[in-house]
Structure 1
């Protein structure tokens, strides 16, 4: 059985950042890593969930929303996957979009998107300030990111 590409990356050495994971036809997957190497520091459920609601909402309301296929958490809680249509958005454009939405999320005002029992099956652990803090960390981390830095 073939190993999937992300299992070939040494997670003990992988620094937080934004990485090009794979391309499947016109769909490109970016790997957004938050975990610090060798520390075991994972995002908590509340951190992941809160950041996910903010970023997914902002991506799907952006000028590039037609290119957005998916944004969601990794099961291992080390980050998120962002899938986009490369016919509609270049890798450079995707980096810029992520920089913009994480910066916007870090200063988001208003109600936490999707924080109700009707909108989310686990709305209880959503917290706006927690989500903003995670997004602020990542916005600062990827502020100067370039296509050349996308390699694992």
Structure 2
């Protein structure tokens, strides 16, 4: 079997990684951000319900924003320490992407209304969705990145 190349996110020291927003990689015009606000390797992880609820809120808010056409993906990390945000770098600069995330996490923290996608038809695991739980995670992440700037995107 040939030796596999290590993926970029595995080359980051997760014992010293601080909560924040990081530019992970670029593939053509696709930019990948690594958004972490829980400390890896501390046992301080988000629950499935927290990850799922925040994902539904933020993905919906991103895809309803003025920059919706630039959004490629927003979703949770398997390690439960954060989220990935992928966007079209031809449509958004790094500073615009940071501002967009700050905006939607602020919106998510004060969200009113029913949880987007809260039905068996719309979501395969809708029963663990909770608006209050999602808002709490959005507040946590907003507070983490509220003052974030482009120079801070480096790991």
Q: Which bin holds the TM-score, normalised by the shorter protein?
A: over 0.9
- Paired residue total: 152
Give the match's secondary structure for 1:81: strand
Counterparts of residues 1-150 of structure 1 (less than 5 Å): 1-150=4-153
Q: CA deviation at 1:76?
A: 1.1
Residue ranges of structure 2 left out of the alignment (5+ in a row):
none
SS in 1 for 2:50: helix
Structure 1 stretches lacking a partner, 5+ long? none
- The CA RMSD measured in Å over matched residues stands at 0.8
Q: Deviations over 1:59-78 (max 9, x none)?
A: 00000000000001111111
Moved over 4 A (4+): none
Query: TM (normalized to structure 2)?
Result: 0.96
SS of 1:83 mapped into structure 2: strand
**Cα displacement (A) at 1:34:** 2.2
Q: What do the CA deviations read for 1:29-58 (whole angstroms, capped 9, x no partner)?
A: 000112225522111000000000000000
Contact 1:105/1:136, CA 8 A, preserved across alignment: yes
For each residue in 1:49-108, what CA deviation from the matched residue of structure 2 results, as whole angstroms up to 9, or x when unmatched? 000000000000000000000001111111110000010011100000000000000000
Q: Does 1:151 align with 2:151?
A: no
Contact 2:38–2:82 under 8 Å retained in 1: yes
